[in-house]
Amino acid sequence: MNIESTRFGTLDVQEEQFIRFSQGIPGFPEEKSFVYLQEDRESPFSFLQSAAEANLTFLLVDPFQFFADYEFVLEDDISEELGLAPENPPRVFLIATVKEKLADMTVNLLAPLIVNNRSRLGRQVILEKPEYSIRQKLFPDGLTLVEVEEGE
C-alpha cells in the first residue's frame, strides 16, 4: 500500500507497519491510523507518519536510551484496552520536538505513546507525574562534535 508524506515522499508500506490509535492522538483526534518508520533498528529515533495526512509526521524517541530512570505504571483499563500483559509488554515512545539547533531538541515525558507490538494498537497516555515535563531537553548537556557529525 502506498501513502503520501511531505517528509518522505511516497511510501510503500506493509500492514505490519500500521499502528492504530482508536482515540486519535491529543491535538489530532481524527488521525487514527499511522505508519511506524524506523530505518535503523539500533537508532533511538523513529517516525510516526499519518496514513491520511501527508503533512503530519511525529519524530519518536525511545525514552529508555536517554532517561534510565523513566518509569510509570499503566492503569489496568489502559493495559486491557491495548491487550498488554507481562508476556506482551508495550513499546514506549516519546514525541520529540526539534528546535533550530539539534542540541535544543525536547521530548514530552508526560505523555508517552504506548504501543502493543502484536496487535499494533496504540494510545497516548497522560501521566500524573508532576516531576515529568512536556518539554524535557533530550540533550541537557549539549552535544559533542562527534554526536553532531553522526546526526548529519
In this structure, how many other beta carbons lie within 10 angstroms of the beta carbon of residue 142? 12
pLDDT at 22: 95
User: Which pairs from 76-84 meet CB under 8 Å and 24+ separation?
Assistant: 78/114, 78/123, 78/125, 81/22, 81/121, 81/123, 82/114, 82/115, 82/116, 82/119, 82/121, 82/122, 82/123, 83/116, 83/118, 83/119, 83/121, 84/114, 84/116
pLDDT at 2: 95
| pTM, rounded to two decimals | 0.90
pLDDT at 146: 47
C-alpha to C-alpha distance for 28 and 47, rounded to whole angstroms: 16
Confidence grade of residue 32 (pLDDT, cut at 50, 70, 90): very high
In this structure, how many other beta carbons lie within 10 angstroms of the beta carbon of residue 86? 5
pLDDT surpassing 70 at residue 152: no
Q: How is domain 2-151 classified at the CATH fold level?
A: BH3618-like (2.30.290)
pLDDT digits (tens, 9 = 90+) for 76-116: 999 999 999 999 999 999 999 998 888 899 999 999 999 99
* Mean pLDDT of all residues belonging to the chain: 92
In this prediction, residues 53-67 reach a mean pLDDT of: 97
Confidence grade of residue 148 (pLDDT, cut at 50, 70, 90): very low
pLDDT at 150: 54
In this structure, how many other beta carbons lie within 10 angstroms of the beta carbon of residue 97? 14
